[in-house]
Structure 1
C-alpha cells in the first residue's frame, strides 16, 4: 500500500526524477550487478520518512538498507532535495501565491535519541537529546525555510538565520513585511533585528495571555503539526548527519506544499481530469 496518495506521489516523483544527475550505469565489462531503479529507492525513502523506523526495517529483496543510504547521500550531494523544495515553492507561488506580507517563525522541539549534529539536551524531555526546528512559514502556513539546532538553543538567536533563508530563495519580497512571533521573541534585540531587516514586528508581549486563534501565529503551529504527525522521521530524528536531517525536512516540506497546491488549485481552477471531490 503506498504511503502517499497518487496525486502527491506521482508529480513529486516526476519532478524529483527530472532533478537527478545523469549517470552512466553501463559497466565497460558488463559484469556488474544491475543498478536498482531510482523509483524503487525513492519509494523506500518516502516510506521511511512517513512511517519512521530504521533503514533495515524498510529494506527487502528489492532494495537493501545500504543502497537506500548510498542513494540518499548521492542525491544529497547533488542538492536534489533542496531544489525540489524550491521548485515546489515556485509552483505554489505561480498557481496560488505566497503570502510574504505576513511571515511567522516559531521553534519546534523533537526527540533525537541518537544524538549527532544539531542536537542538545532537551528542556522539555528531562534533558534527553533533542533537535529544534526553527521554521519560517508564509501567511498561509507554507514552509518557506528552516534552521536546525540543538533543543537547548533559545528561539531568539535563531531568528536571524531563519529569516535569512527567505533571501536564498530569490523571491521578490513585498515592501511591507510583518513578522508574527510569540512571547519568546519579545526583546529589544528582536525588535532591533526586525528594524534592521525592514520588517514590522507583531510580537505577543511577555506575561500577556493571548489565544493563538486570535493571532496569525496559528499557521506555524499547524505546519509543525503537519511535519510531526505526518512524517514520523521528523518527530523522532535518528539520523546523525546535519545534511541528512535537512534533506528529510526539505522532502517533507515539498510534500506539504504539493498537497496544499493540489487542494487550493481544486478550489480555484477547472480542468478536464479534475476530480469531483477535493482530494
Structure 2
C-alpha cells in the first residue's frame, strides 16, 4: 500500500523538498524516522479521511510524530513547493492549457478553529470554503481556504495574482492565462477592469443575462476538479483546528491530483 500511495517517481520529487533532520549537538535522543514512511502516513490520512489517532501502526510511525512532522512541513511550505514542482513538469511537457483559467469555490463543514464562519448555504452552520483556480482542462493551479461566509468574488484577485510562474515547453515561464472563466458569483465591474489591465480576457457570467446552460459548457471542468479534490476524504469535513493545516491538506491534494495527470 505504501508504494501505491507514494510511488518511487513521486518520492523522487518529494524527498529533496523535506527539511533535513539535524541531530542534537549533545547526542542522544531518538533516531530520526524514515521520511518516506511519515509522508506516506500523511497521504494515508488525507486519502482515507481517518483521524490522526486512528493511524494504523503498520506505517511504523507514532501518531504524535506523524502529526508533528505534518505541521512542520506545512509551516515550511513543503506541500506548496511540491505542487509547484509537479506543475513545472506538466508545463515542460506541454500538458497545461493556458488558453483559459477557471475559478470556483465549494463549502466544507467545519467544527471549530481559524478560517471558519457561518455558512450561508448550510443554515448558518460553521464551515470553511475551498477556492480553486485551474487551467482550461481543470488542472489545479492555485488553492486557498477561507471562512464559509467569505464572498467568492473577494478571492478572485488574490488567486489570479498568486498563479505560480510555470515552465513552458519552450520559451519563458508562464503565469498568465488568456481568459478567466467564472460564474455569476464573481460578476463585478471592478474585476473585469482589473483583469483587462493585466491582459486577461474576462469571461465572467453576468447576472440576469447569461444562462446556466451556456456557463455549464465550461464549468463542468472545474466541478470535476472539485470532485477530484473532495475524493480525498480528509477534505469532505474539516477537523483541523488550525486553518493552515487544512489548507496544507488541500495543497497536498492538489499536488497529488496534478501528479496523477503527470503519471499517465
TM-score (norm 2): 0.88
Q: Distance in 1 between matches of 2:236 and 2:4?
A: 21
Q: 1:197 is matched with which residue?
A: 198
1:239 is paired with a residue whose SS is coil
What residue number does 1:140 align with? Answer: 137
Counterpart of 2:48 in structure 1 is: 51
Question: Does residue 5 in structure 1 map to residue 4 in structure 2?
Answer: yes
Aligned length: 257
The question of whether the paired residues in 1 share the 8 Å contact of 2:141 and 2:164 is answered with no
Q: Does 1:100 align with 2:98?
A: yes
In structure 2, the gaps of 5 or more residues are 168-172
Secondary structure (helix, strand or coil) at the match of 1:135 reads strand
The 1:212/1:46 distance shift into structure 2, 3 A limit, reads: farther
Q: Map residues 24-43 of structure 1 onto 2, 5 A cutoff.
A: 24-25=22-23, 28-29=26-27, 31-43=28-40
Secondary structure at 2:142's aligned position in 1? strand
Question: In 2, distance between residues paired with 1:91 and 1:251?
Answer: 16
Report the CA distance between 1:16 and its aligned residue.
1.0
Alignment of 1:75-224 (within 5 A): 75-113=73-111, 115-167=112-164, 171-173=173-175, 177-207=178-208, 208-211=210-213, 214-224=216-226
Contact 2:166–2:175 (CA under 8 A) maintained in structure 1 = no
In 1, Cα distance between equivalents of 2:46 and 2:164: 27
What is the aligned partner in structure 1 of residue 262 from structure 2?
Answer: 261
Describe the SS at the equivalent of 1:111: strand
Give the whole-Å Cα distance in 2 for the aligned partners of 1:213 and 1:258. Answer: 28
CA RMSD of aligned residues (A): 2.3
Cα drift, residue 168 of structure 1: 6.1
When normalised by structure 1's length, the TM-score is 0.84
Counterpart residue number, 1:275:
none
Gaps of 5+ in 1: 264-279
Q: 1:184 to 1:97 in 2, by over 3 A?
A: same
Partner of 1:189, secondary structure, is: helix
